[in-house]
Amino acid sequence: MQTNRANWNSRVVHHVAGYALRGFYEDPNYLSDVVRFDRDRLGRLDGLDVVHLQCHIGHDTLSLARLGAKSVTGLDFSRPALDAATELAAACGATITYVESELYHAVAALGAERFDLVYTGVGALCWLPDIHRWAEVVGELLRPGGRLFIREGHPVLWALADPRPDGLLVLEFPYFETPGVAFSEPFSYVEHVEPLASPDFIHFNHGLGEIIGALLDAGLRLTAFFEHDSSPWNALGDAMEEGPDGEFRLRASPERLPLTYTLQATKI
């Protein structure tokens, strides 16, 4: 967790510069690409108390606030990210509460059964070593009848190696939960010149069955599940191309590969 926090702390300055934040300042109805993609499935949030787990610099969090939520809370373990999120919300006139905490300590930091909606965005679960502990946290944060909403990278995508010179896609990394895989990458997924000050990180994959099973064990009921052939970022270099919707898909036969999924579950 310390290694991953240092890595995310070092990403913040580059993400503030590289994310499309100008739209938030210029248009009060502007939404992040991730939230906009699932807007119909997510629906209006009027009157709901919402928490965004692993919120990073808060652009998705601000988007949730713009969908009418009564209150919005963002939680993250990176203080620099929360500082950036707070600045973005203030500049856009949004009232959002940001709390610094590791995910597994969220109930102690926020309180139990406080929220009608728990939201988690793309690229969050792969930083958590234990998916059952995550599901338990979600269940404890939700009020009875509250729902979880996720759009996340597909575990098949997280298991892929970089495309080979011959274009073949190869499963190289674990699909199922393991103690984690260590990486060192000097650059993040947005363009920047200066390398990351802390390039090391550890990823943890979780299979779809493990994720759904953990939610069921935590007292939630699966209500919707969709797999997508697209992702909001270019995950595979030259093997992908951007579509008119701003999503990236395989250039050749995109139907071969699930890249992301959207999941909803309700606390019984």
Query: Which band of pLDDT confidence, cut at 50, 70 and 90, is reported for residue 165?
Result: confident
**pTM to 2 decimal places:** 0.96
Summarize pLDDT for 99-132 with one digit per residue, the tens: 999 999 999 999 999 999 999 999 999 999 999 9
* Residue 164 confidence (pLDDT): 86
Which residue segments constitute the domains of the chain, with CATH numbers given? 2-267 (3.40.50.150)
* Percent of the chain with pLDDT strictly greater than 90: 96
Strands 115-120 and 142-153: parallel
